[in-house]
């Protein structure tokens, strides 16, 4: 554990109560939590962790901290500890109370507004600690600084007592433990993978920062103490408990991030380009590498906040990249004049790039911080990257050659694809007036209430067409597995009958003619069988939407149906189970898997259906019949409607970008051209496979 003092001394970086500015009170947070954390669902719940973690990360960004620990505790509690300077505890001149209390109980109070507390931070609005405190039923801040240990506890944003000095300490840093309030968050369940993935990304962005994440939720020692964290330790790891954990430490920064993203790709550029420089008060850090692929991966950050919608820093990068490659290509006569020049689309093909900018005063577009609006970032990125990348090309002619050749190939393919697509469009093949014959459309013309079910094959399609609500539900059967679009250009895609039918049904067109406003259905429901083939088809469809219709995912229009696995009949009572656990619960504790035996069961007509159902129980009056559905085609229209299509009873999963990216990543591994990653994945996950014998 690193406890050495990394605080900068003697260089003007003093940090005390005078650095804490107060803008307004805390009362509105509990009334409208969505205004501060976006939602009170899973994303908002995890946002609480990010806010507390970001405070520690900002200490690391300033050079005052090099060790952070995040612990998931029993009782829905989270503990974050860092070896930074420690929140000041002296009296604040304006609030007349401890600066620690001010930070924890006053909205817009912190070292990120004026003063010299932080040069750069991700907390634009400074809502972090106070909002987490306001939305927690329990919160405790523990500060080690100036030789002392100070503690204050809170509930729903209100202090329980004044800040107390509870002992001496040779350490420095801050420990915050909080428990979200069930009045605000109805379903409190922290997801391990969500926490790990978010913090892993942050670890790449702060070179030399050690981060340890521990899952202590099942620790018996802590359950015996009702989930309370041990205040006698600075770092939880010092307890010596053997618990699931993962640590991150990257000296390479963005270079390490590029290696991570290209782990399952085939690089065509051996040396990863990297530049880090400050210009006009804007810190610019960029790493990139080209791979053998037709898509680009741009991962942008502003003050360590991921900006998935891009912004001025991405615009500056794209402009400089296109200009630099065009200039180099022309200077070295690597392209015929008749071919014209590269467009942004050409030079981005196969590119993986991480762009990180740091600004003292930062502006985002919208409340979600998804897009950077600071104009000074555009010029700084364009200048810093343009000069450095030009030098890289001049000093690495072999690398320059493969990058230019890759872009020339993309240019030629773009022109060929455009010609083919234009030919198709001229024929009117994608116009809404020529809907595919196998589409059973709905009667409603109101997209907001209309649904399109994508089903697997004619059998499921037949049941769905008979069982649907014809007014609002449309059915499109897909024959077999659609084309793998991972490495297919738009002309090849539109040559696929199944994909063309889907595009026509959507009504949005595709590529540069895509128009979300023309979307004919606001619910696209993927309804495939619960088997390996069904999972494969679902992944292919998700990849298609992610690659070519990402705006539809962003709009929240893509869903996955959840058909039942079992039909359970107990006398005249019929139930459906969507998992094996539900089946056991419905059947009863005494009837587990070992109790279920194959049997001939009579249907209402008195005829036996051998092999379709299983029965439990010895007495005729107590028999329980269980039918295992292999696919949607095995359900009659009434069953399909009741379990999977009826809005009043069905279960749908909304697809977000994270789901699509994960599906795409797995698809890259399983269906890509590289064998080693696929072999490794299968070996690592073989024990998780469910084999139906």
The pair phi, psi for residue 473, each rounded to 5°, is -115, 125
215 is catalytic: no
Question: How far is 668 from 661, CA to CA, in rounded Å?
Answer: 10
- The CATH code of the domain that includes 558 is 3.40.50.670
Is the same domain home to 556 and 582?
no
Regarding whether 456 and 310 lie in a shared domain, the answer is: no
The confidence score (pLDDT) of residue 530 equals: 74
Q: State the average pLDDT over residues 661-665.
A: 61
Confidence tier at 339 by pLDDT (50, 70, 90): confident
Count of domains observed in the chain: 4
SS3 85: coil
Which residue among 390, 422, 454 closes a domain?
422
Output the pLDDT for position 67.
97
CATH code for position 404: 3.30.230.10
- Residue 628 has φ and ψ, to the nearest 5°, of -95, 120
- Give the residue, 329 or 493, on which the prediction is more confident: 329
Domain final residue pick, 190, 205, 240: 190
- Percent of the chain's residues with pLDDT above 90: 47
The answer to whether residues 359 and 473 belong to one domain is: no
Of the listed ranges 173-182, 192-201, 227-236, 631-640, the least confidently predicted one is 227-236
Catalytic residue, chosen from 43, 345, 469, 533, is 533
Q: Is residue 211 a part of any domain in this protein?
A: no
pLDDT value at residue 125: 33
Q: 450 and 418: one domain? A: no
Question: Which candidate in 230, 531, 595, 661 is catalytic?
Answer: 531
Tell me if 576 is assigned to some domain: yes
Distance CA 522, CA 447 (A): 6
**Local structure of 588: helix, strand or coil:** coil
Does pLDDT of 459 surpass 70? yes
Is residue 239, in this structure, part of any structural domain at all?
A: no
| Inside any domain, residue 396 | yes
Look at the alpha carbons of 55, 61, 66, 68 in this order and tell me if their dihedral is positive or negative.
positive
Give domain status of residue 201, yes or no: no
> Which pLDDT score is estimated for 608?
32
Helix (H) or strand (E) holding 475: strand 473-478
Task: Kindly state whether residue 259 falls inside one of the protein's structural domains.
Answer: yes
| Phi, psi of 228, rounded to the nearest 5 degrees | -70, 140
Mean pLDDT of 74-83: 95
The residue annotated as part of the active site, out of 59, 101, 441, 529, is 529
Q: Does residue 10 form part of some domain?
A: no
Residue 96, pLDDT above cutoff 80: yes
Same domain membership, residue 376 and residue 298 = yes
pTM: 0.68
Which of 207, 211, 55, 209 lies closest to 122, judged by CA? 55
Residue that finishes a domain, picked among 387, 422, 457? 422
Q: Are residues 506 and 598 in the same domain?
A: no
Residue 490: domain span:
432-562+653-688
Determine whether 90 is an active site residue.
Answer: no
**Which residues sit opposite 142 in a β-bridge?**
151, 175
On whether both 285 and 397 belong to a single domain, the answer is yes
Who wins on pLDDT, 538 or 423? 538
User: Are both 549 and 618 inside the same structural domain?
Assistant: no
Do 292 and 402 belong together in one domain? yes
Average pLDDT, the chain: 83
pLDDT at 429: 46
Handedness of CA 570, 574, 578, 582 (dihedral sign): negative
Residues marked as binding for Mg(2+)? 456, 529, 531
Say if residues 364 and 310 touch (Cβ distance below 8 Å).
Answer: no
Q: In this structure, are 540 and 553 located in the same domain?
A: yes
Is 529 a known active-site residue? yes
H helix intervals, 307-374: 312-331, 344-348
Q: Give 260-274 pLDDT, tens digit per residue.
A: 889 888 999 989 999
List phi, psi (to 5°) of 655: -90, 130
Same domain, 538 and 681: yes
Residue 646 included in any domain: no
Q: Which domain CATH number covers 58?
A: 3.30.565.10
For tokens 């790990």, name the residue: 196
Shared domain check, 441 and 292:
no
Reply yes or no on whether the pLDDT at 190 is more than 70: yes
At residue 492, does pLDDT exceed 80?
A: no
Q: What is the pLDDT of residues 367-387, one digit of tens each?
A: 567 889 999 999 999 999 999
Residue 26 pLDDT: 63
Give the chain's end-to-end CA distance (angstroms, integer): 50
| 646 belongs to the catalytic site | no
pLDDT of residue 688: 53
Confidence band, pLDDT 50/70/90 cuts, at residue 605: very low
Please check the confidence at residue 1 and state whether its pLDDT lies above 50. no
Q: What percent of the chain is modeled with pLDDT above 70? A: 80
């Amino acid at each position: 554990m690193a406890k050495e003092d990394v605080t900068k001394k003697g260089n003007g970086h003093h940090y005390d109560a005078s650095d804490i500015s107060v803008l307004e009170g805390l009362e509105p947070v509990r009334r409208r939590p969505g205004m501060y954390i976006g939602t009170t669902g899973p994303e908002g719940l995890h946002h609480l962790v990010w806010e507390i973690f970001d405070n520690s990360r900002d200490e690391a960004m300033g050079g005052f901290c090099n060790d952070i620990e995040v612990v998931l505790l029993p009782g829905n509690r989270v503990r974050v500890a860092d070896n930074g300077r420690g929140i000041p505890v002296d009296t604040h001149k304006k609030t007349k109370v401890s600066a620690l209390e001010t930070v924890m109980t006053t909205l817009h109070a912190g070292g990120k507004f004026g003063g010299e507390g932080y040069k750069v931070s991700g907390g634009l609005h400074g809502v972090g600690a106070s909002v987490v405190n306001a939305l927690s039923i329990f919160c405790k801040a523990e500060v080690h600084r100036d030789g002392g240990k100070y503690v204050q506890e809170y509930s729903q944003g209100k202090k329980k007592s004044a800040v107390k000095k509870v002992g001496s300490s040779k350490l420095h840093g801050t420990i915050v433990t909080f428990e979200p309030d069930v009045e605000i968050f109805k379903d409190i369940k922290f997801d391990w993978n969500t926490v790990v993935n978010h913090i892993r990304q942050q670890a790449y962005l702060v070179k030399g920062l050690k981060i340890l994440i521990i899952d202590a939720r099942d620790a018996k020692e802590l359950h015996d103490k009702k989930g309370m964290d041990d205040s006698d330790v600075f770092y939880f790891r010092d307890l010596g408990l053997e618990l699931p954990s993962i640590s991150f430490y990257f000296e390479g920064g963005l270079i390490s991030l590029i290696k991570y993203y290209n782990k399952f790709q085939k690089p065509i550029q051996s040396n990863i380009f990297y530049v880090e420089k400050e210009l006009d008060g804007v810190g610019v850090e960029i790493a990139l590498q080209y791979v053998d692929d037709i898509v680009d991966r741009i991962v942008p950050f502003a003050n360590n906040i991921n900006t998935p919608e891009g912004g001025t820093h991405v615009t500056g990068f794209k402009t400089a990249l296109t200009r630099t490659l065009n200039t180099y290509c022309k200077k070295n006569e690597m392209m015929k004049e008749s071919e014209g020049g590269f467009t942004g689309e050409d030079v981005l093909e196969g590119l993986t790039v991480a762009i990180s900018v740091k600004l003292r005063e930062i502006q985002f577009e919208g409340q979600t911080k998804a897009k950077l609006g600071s104009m000074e970032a555009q010029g700084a990125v364009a200048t810093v990257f343009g000069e450095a990348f030009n030098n890289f090309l001049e000093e690495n002619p072999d690398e320059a050659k493969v990058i230019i050749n890759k872009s020339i190939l993309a240019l030629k393919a773009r022109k060929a694809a455009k010609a083919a697509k234009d030919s198709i469009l001229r024929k009117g093949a994608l116009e809404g007036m020529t809907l595919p014959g196998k589409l059973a459309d709905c009667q409603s013309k109101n997209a907001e209430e209309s649904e399109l079910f994508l089903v697997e094959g004619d059998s499921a399609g037949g049941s769905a067409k008979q069982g649907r609500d014809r007014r609002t539900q449309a059915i499109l059967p897909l024959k077999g597995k659609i084309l793998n679009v991972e490495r297919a250009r738009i002309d090849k895609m539109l040559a696929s009958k199944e994909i063309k039918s889907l595009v026509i049904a959507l009504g949005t067109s595709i590529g540069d003619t895509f128009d979300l406003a023309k979307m004919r259905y606001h619910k696209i429901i993927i309804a495939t069988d619960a088997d390996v083939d069904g999972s494969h088809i679902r992944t292919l469809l998700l990849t298609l939407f992610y690659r070519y219709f990402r705006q539809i995912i962003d709009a929240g229009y893509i869903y996955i149906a959840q058909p039942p696995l079992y039909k359970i009949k107990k006398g005249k009572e019929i139930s459906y189970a969507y998992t094996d656990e539900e089946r056991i619960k419905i059947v009863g504790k005494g009837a587990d898997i070992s109790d279920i035996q194959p049997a001939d069961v009579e249907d209402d007509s008195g005829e036996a259906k051998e092999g379709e159902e299983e029965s439990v129980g010895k007495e005729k009056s107590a028999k329980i019949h269980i039918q295992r559905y292999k696919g949607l085609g095995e359900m009659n229209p009434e069953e399909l409607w009741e379990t999977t299509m009826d809005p009043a009873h069905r279960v749908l999963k909304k697809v977000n970008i994270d789901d699509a990216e994960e599906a795409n990543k797995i698809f890259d591994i399983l269906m890509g051209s590289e064998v080693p990653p696929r072999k490794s994945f299968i070996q690592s996950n073989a024990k998780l496979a469910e084999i139906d014998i």
